[in-house]
């Protein structure tokens, strides 16, 4: 069982060493960098990774490009702000002792996030299972803008592994706010719009409160105390913002359509 670890990066000099160190046991490490302006590529190369520069096409497409550069069929996909726990490493190492016939085609891992100085249990943030270890001959990344995931072929067998993937994604409140406003909400709105989803003024108004209740109450965020409240509040902000941006796209599309219709009428 030869494993290639893949990581996509953009200006991750503060994260890339710890990420690579946590997957040093893999047979190959491929880093696909979206034209970083810091020392990300230099650090990755110094740690023995195969580094490829590739312009940013979106999360799903970039991760699939990384998979296609791998020398081995087995892929372990890691984000630069994630680390493999010792327990998860042991679970993967145990697979190597099994005969090929006893291996599944893909493996789910639980991801545990560190936020405001504590490991989060609720709010939908845990176990947050991710399919990260898989045969590239049996699965691939969906070409999604955001919240990308691996899609396995029909008939593929998927099992779960013990141990967590440790996630250090949010540095502080300002960072969390920027992530939503500059990345996740705009990408989510575009993805919803492209998929044909539409919203209304009522939808925009209710998206935030609904997300807050879902995160804090229905998904158990209250168990994490003030951190759970903060996560729920940002979930509400994200839901409000992406629906507002979707509403704006709808409005702009209608305006463009009306302009074309008036132009066609004047031409006739």
Rg (CA), the chain: 21
132 CA to centre of own chain: 11
Q: What is the 3-state secondary structure (H, E, C) of 187-218?
A: HHHHHHHHCCCCCCHHHHHHHHHHHHHHHHHH
Helix axes 185-194, 225-267, angle to 10 degrees: 50
Q: Which of 64, 171, 68 is nearest to 115 (CA)?
A: 171
The count of residues in the chain is: 268
Model pLDDT, residue 146? 84
CA–CA separation, 164 vs 128, rounded Å?
Answer: 10
| Cα separations in angstroms, 144 against 10, 48, 74, 175 | 18, 30, 22, 23
pLDDT by residue for the chain (268 residues), tens only, comes to: 999 999 999 999 999 999 999 999 999 999 999 999 999 999 999 999 999 999 999 999 999 999 999 999 999 999 999 999 999 999 999 999 999 899 999 999 999 999 999 999 999 999 999 999 999 999 999 998 888 999 999 999 999 999 999 999 999 999 999 999 999 999 999 999 999 999 999 999 999 999 999 999 999 999 999 999 999 999 999 999 999 999 999 999 876 665 566 666 665 5
Model pLDDT, residue 268? 58
Q: Distance between the two ends of the chain, CA-based, in angstroms? A: 68
Give the H or E element holding residue 219: none
Model confidence, pTM: 0.89
Give the H or E element holding residue 74: strand 74-77
Model pLDDT, residue 266? 61
Q: Which of 60, 170, 36, 160 is nearest to 51 (CA)?
A: 36
- Residue 226, both tokens: 């003030």
């Amino acid at each position: 069982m030869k494993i290639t670890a893949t990581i996509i990066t953009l200006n991750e000099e503060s994260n890339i060493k710890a990420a690579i160190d946590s997957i040093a046991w893999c047979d190959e490490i491929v880093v696909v960098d979206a034209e970083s302006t810091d020392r990300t590529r230099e650090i990755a190369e110094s740690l023995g990774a195969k580094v490829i520069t590739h312009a940013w096409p979106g999360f799903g497409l970039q991760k699939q490009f990384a998979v296609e550069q791998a020398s081995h069929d087995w892929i372990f996909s890691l984000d630069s702000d994630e680390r493999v726990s010792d327990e998860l490493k042991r679970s993967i190492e145990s697979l190597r002792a099994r005969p090929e016939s006893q291996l599944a085609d893909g493996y789910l891992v639980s991801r545990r996030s560190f936020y405001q100085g504590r490991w989060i249990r609720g709010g939908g943030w845990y176990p947050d299972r991710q399919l990260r270890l898989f045969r590239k001959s049996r699965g691939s990344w969906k070409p999604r803008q955001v919240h990308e995931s691996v899609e396995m072929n029909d008939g593929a067998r998927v099992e779960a592994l013990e141990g967590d993937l440790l996630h250090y994604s949010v540095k502080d409140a300002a960072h969390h706010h920027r992530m939503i406003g500059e990345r996740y909400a705009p990408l989510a709105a575009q993805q919803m719009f492209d998929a044909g989803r539409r919203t209304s003024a009522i939808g925009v108004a209710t998206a935030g409160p609904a997300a807050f209740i879902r995160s804090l109450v229905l998904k158990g965020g209250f168990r994490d105390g003030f951190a759970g409240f903060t996560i729920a509040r940002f979930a509400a902000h994200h839901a409000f913002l992406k629906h507002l941006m979707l509403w704006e796209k709808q409005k702009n599309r209608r305006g463009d359509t009306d302009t074309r219709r008036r132009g066609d009428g004047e031409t006739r």
